[in-house]
Amino acid sequence: MRKIITTLPLLLILFITVHAQSPKLKYTVNLNDSKDDLFRVTLDVSGLTASNNIYQFAATAPGTYQTMDIGRYVREFKAFDKKGREVSVKKLDENQYELSDPTKVKKINYRIVETWDTPVKENMIYKMCGTSIEKDHVLFNAHCVFGYPKGMQAEPLEIKLEYPAEWQVGTALTKNQSGSYVANNYDHAVDSPILLGRLTKSTTDLNGATVDIYTYSKTDLIKSDDLLNSMKEMLKAAGAFVVKFPVDRYTFLFHFEDETWGAWEHSYSSEYIFQEEPFTEQLGQLITSTAAHEFFHVITPLNIHSEIIERFNFVTPTPSEHLWLYEGTTEWASDAMQLRYKMIDLETFLSEVRQKLITDARYDQNYSLSKLSLTSYTPEGQKQYGNIYMRGAVVAGLLDIRLLELSKGKRGLREVINELSIKFGPSKAFPEKEFFSLFTSMTYPEIADFFDNYVKNANPLPIGEYYAKLGIQYTPEIKTGKVVPTLGIGFDVPDGKIRLVKLRDELKAIGLVENDELVSINGTPITLQNGRQIVGELSQQPIDHAYDITVRRDDKEITIKSKVLSKEDVKLHSFEVNAQATPEQVALREAWLKNL
């Protein structure tokens, strides 16, 4: 799931006009002492009224689609009047503190522990969406450090960071004359992560926009110059794909330490968590592929977004039905722009589609993209969430083909997205309930049927029919007649833990159970970081190869002796250019390949 190993993810739109008056909310964070993994926060506040009596910490954050309950990490929350006398405070629930007399409150102090090194029993926060405070660097996401008084989410604020003088700071935020970072509102602060410490920096220009890359590498194996050199062509491809680049600056924040978690997109920046290793061309390609997805979010949802997410509800989030647009279309675009800019060839692009179809089959085939979007914050929806990057991207690709067909190769999804970006923008949202009809009115009546069939409902995707329009033959499966080894196990990560799914009957017979947590194989502990390699190596062992698998069930570890099973080798989702394609099919394929 790109959300975890690559993305994840949605962002909040900024108010363009900065309030002229001095901010009523002035946060100071002491980062000089990493002892006890604590952020020491002081909020100087003015003008509170009786209606501002609740101090709210975030229940979640935009683009994460997970319950966070940041209040869990708060320690020693206290409020004071102008003379330093304590004003009584009552904790109402996990994320809310009630101020007994908010009109007297001038200062709020609390400590809040980092999310990375603080164990929790449930709802573990994705590391790219969390916080880490160490001796040589800090990863800072505002929703994990700050709250806000009720009714003041839209107030401008200042952020003063106290840190060692030799540190470098990477963020899309700007400073005021006093050296504090300024945000137009709480949403803007949450939308602007900060990485500071022992960093390297590299800068380039893209269509007049300044692109900065800041990198923390635990043992200095990876430099920002390495990453920029790898991403230059991707940045050019993105610039060509979007035509009019919608921002004047963009900041990449890279963190290389002990684990790989993926990335999180924002309006003017994105942050990446990868395991540190010597920089290679292969690593550069992986990072570039991930960055291509996150970078394209400058179009959607920065410029194209629903009214529902324009002002995020940090107390009780309201989902938008158009997650397929924000994430699915973005994932499609990240591959399409590389194909059309000749960064990858047609075979590689089609192999990406193939892999997405294989992964899609592991999810509930009756779960539509609309339903996934609307249930994304629920446990049920979380089980299906990863498919927004698989089925969502495949559907966006089919929509592109259909639009190009109807326009005789002149106007695909790229053109419509660019038009929508101009029609709306960072400060102008589209109406949530009207987007399907609005998109259809900008294109063709047939697109309404497309949305009904493949977005609102989960009808079987017309892969063969649509790719045939391009003169590309699609075969769902090809039986080779060969017998090959298989583990007979599927894996899922719905809660940060590796779970066993889709078990073969032979494995159920020896005692494995659906949803068991994978603990170790042959005594080697399995983690998100080494799981792919170890399981992959095991799956290549010969049929009947014996191994021990340890799982956790009901807080008890169980070790079971198993063996590698066999299956008929079936090649799934084969794509091949049709040598007998008609001139019309070839013409449409050429238009599709060059649509940049």
Give start-end residues of each CATH 1.10.390.10 domain in the chain: 319-472+579-593
Who contacts 511 (Cβ-Cβ below 8 Å, separation ≥6)? 558, 560
Q: Give the model confidence (pLDDT) of 231-242 as tens digits.
A: 999 998 888 888
Who contacts 160 (Cβ-Cβ below 8 Å, separation ≥6)? 26, 27, 28, 29, 178, 179, 180, 181
3-state secondary structure of 456: helix
Using alpha carbons only, give the angle 281, 282, 288 rounded to the nearest 5 degrees. Answer: 85
Q: Say what the pLDDT of residue 219 is.
A: 97
Is 488 in contact with 514 (CB distance < 8 Å)?
no
Q: Say what the pLDDT of residue 544 is.
A: 95
Range list of β-strands (E), 428-564 = 472-486, 490-492, 499-501, 517-521, 524-525, 546-553, 556-563
Whole-prediction pTM value? 0.81
CATH 2.40.30.10 fits 2-296, yes or no: no
Rounded alpha-carbon distances, angstroms, from residue 302 to 213, 238, 269, 296: 20, 15, 11, 10
Who contacts 554 (Cβ-Cβ below 8 Å, separation ≥6)? none
Token readout for 47 is: 């003008």
CATH 1.50.10.10 fits 319-472+579-593, yes or no: no
**Beta-strand pair 25-30/38-45:** antiparallel
Cα–Cα dist 551/532, whole Å: 16
Q: Which CATH class is domain 488-563?
A: mainly beta
Q: Say what the pLDDT of residue 155 is.
A: 96
Is 64 in contact with 8 (CB distance < 8 Å)?
yes
Q: Say what the pLDDT of residue 175 is.
A: 96
pLDDT by 10s per residue, the chain, length 596: 344 443 333 333 333 344 445 679 999 999 998 889 999 999 999 999 999 999 999 999 988 888 899 999 999 999 999 999 999 999 999 999 999 999 999 999 999 999 999 999 888 899 999 999 999 999 999 999 999 999 999 999 999 999 999 999 999 999 999 999 999 999 999 999 999 999 999 999 988 889 999 999 999 999 999 999 999 999 988 888 887 777 889 999 999 999 889 899 898 999 999 999 999 999 999 999 899 888 888 888 878 889 887 778 899 878 899 999 999 999 999 999 999 999 999 999 999 999 999 999 989 999 999 999 999 888 889 889 889 999 999 999 999 999 999 999 999 999 999 999 889 988 889 999 999 999 999 999 999 999 999 999 999 999 999 999 999 999 999 888 899 999 999 888 877 789 999 899 999 999 999 999 999 999 999 987 788 889 989 999 999 999 999 999 998 999 999 999 999 888 999 999 999 999 999 999 999 998 77
Going by the DSSP 8-state scheme, the letter that residue 513 receives in this structure is -
Among 309, 320, 428, 442, residue whose Cα is nearest residue 369: 320
Cα–Cα dist 382/373, whole Å: 10
Q: Say what the pLDDT of residue 125 is.
A: 93
Buried b (16+ CB within 10 A) or exposed e, 521-532: beeeebeeeebe
Bridge partners of residue 107, in order along the sequence: 44, 80
Query: Does an H or E element contain 238, and which?
Result: helix 224-242
With helix as H, strand as E and coil as C, how does 153-198 read?
CCCCEEEEEECCCCCEEEECCEECCCCCEEECCHHHHHCCCEEEEC
Q: Say what the pLDDT of residue 123 is.
A: 87
Number of other CB atoms surrounding residue 420 within 10 Å: 20
Q: Say what the pLDDT of residue 509 is.
A: 95
Token readout for 43 is: 């909020």
Query: Does an H or E element contain 216, and which?
Result: strand 209-217
Q: Say what the pLDDT of residue 309 is.
A: 78
Cα–Cα dist 475/68, whole Å: 43
Give the chain's length.
596
Give start-end residues of each CATH 2.30.42.10 domain in the chain: 488-563
Dihedral sign for Cα 477, 467, 383, 291, please.
Answer: positive
Q: Say what the pLDDT of residue 551 is.
A: 95
Q: Say what the pLDDT of residue 21 is.
A: 56
Give start-end residues of each CATH 2.60.40.3650 domain in the chain: 2-296
Residue carrying structure tokens 């009714």: 151
Token readout for 408 is: 């005789």
